[in-house]
A and B are shown apart, each in its own frame.
Chain A
Amino acid sequence: MADLSVYARLARAQVRGQLSYRGSFAMNILAQALAQASDLAAILIVFGRVASLGGFDFHAVLLLYALSGMSFGLADLSVGSIERLPTYIRTGSFDVVLMRPLATLFQLFVSDFQLRRIGRVITALGTLVYVLSTSDIHWSPAKVLLLVLTPLAGATIFGSIFVAANSVSFWFVDARELANTVTYGGSYLTSYPITVFSGWLRTLLGYIVPGAFVAYYPALTLLDHADPLGAPTWFGWLDAPVTVLTALVAGLLWRTAVRHYRGTGS
């Protein structure tokens, strides 16, 4: 508990610093919101040319995009600063992280907490509100629960992907870009129906990295849409167990990676 308040104070200090350059901060939030919106623009442009994509209409794809965007945005906001890990390892400052009597992972989460990343969440939330107000979903208490659960589960999945992918930096110095393939690549892919992709790409980013459970299956359940790939409708509820499993794997990978760390010898 005492640890938690330390993390909160560290994050607050970061935010205070960022707010001291107001103009730049506003610009940065706008940039993040636009970064998320550029994927939305691509969807809008594509649907200017087609009526459906991979068996899904405009509203269904927008729902996928909104759920995926919320998940990725929340994950990026809370654990995205782990992307600085390669720099810490290269410069040797990860040694300092190990010396402190706090969990290594959580130190990294707050070490460079960037409030501007909330810009992504804002765009995705706006889209979600629009989709929910314009499409006719047959609401039930279970579906409301699923709707609340999905971004949280998705954020945990993406957070685990961030941690697992960046753990590779302990072995390869230049792993940041490789990590991007599953983090940003995952965010890009999960905004579209998984039916669009084929072969090993679908297997890798949909199931091994469980991107299909971020938005695709929950959206099918919410919309009462039959899965063109044949999965039963309750698949959307697999979210929770998949999330726990992903987080466990990421945690184990992180522990192994940290044990492997030998410092740069500085």
Chain B
Amino acid sequence: MARYAMVTDLRKCVACQACTVACSAEWAVPAGHARTHVRTTPLAGSFPNLTSSPVVGQCNQCDHPPCVEPCPSGATYQDAGGIVRVDTDVCIGCGFCVDACPYEARFINPRTKKVDKCDFCRPRIERGEVPACVATCTAHAKYFGDLEDRNSEVSRLVFRDGARRMETRTVAVGPNVFYLGRPEHLDLVLSSYPPRPPRLLTAGAAWTRLLKPLVLAMVGMTFAGQAVAFFTQLHKGEGDFEE
């Protein structure tokens, strides 16, 4: 069994966004959305003593993915390599998982109307290639591999060089995207973009538990279209409720 992981070295990353564009080109992600985002933290300090860091975010393929549980259709699941995946044939585009993700890694693809996100380029891995963002990274700042393999480069970077996870005491779901960097930069990244507590765990969880079997039943009865309409309705209702 593999446990795939990504390491981004923020000392090398220059925030060039080659990864973002390569990923979007590879997976035909419509402009305006992306599976991986590059940001630069706000400046800390005051002139001329300043600190900031680029950071690259994507789905973290978490060990305990909070997006799986709220998925009413069972489309979101964790595969044998630890990769969190979306079966787009089953996804109904309700977006519960989008709300649940602490890393804002998911979005509704406006072309497919299904949820979309990074899957570590699963099809490329299966062809023996590295993910598209790793292949193109101008700074050679991204590393991909299997943590189960103690000789892999990512194992070395994680277990020997201490690449860090972006988690906090309140949100610790075991992300498999790691970062290397100057400690002050990593701290700044984490404080600028802390993982957000999953939104659906309270009210949402209740909805989910209540409705999941219903939806499955409906999908089973090939009333998928109605189910989608039903859920779209519900989701809107939920949004209103929250505001």
Query: Do A and B come from the same complex?
Result: no
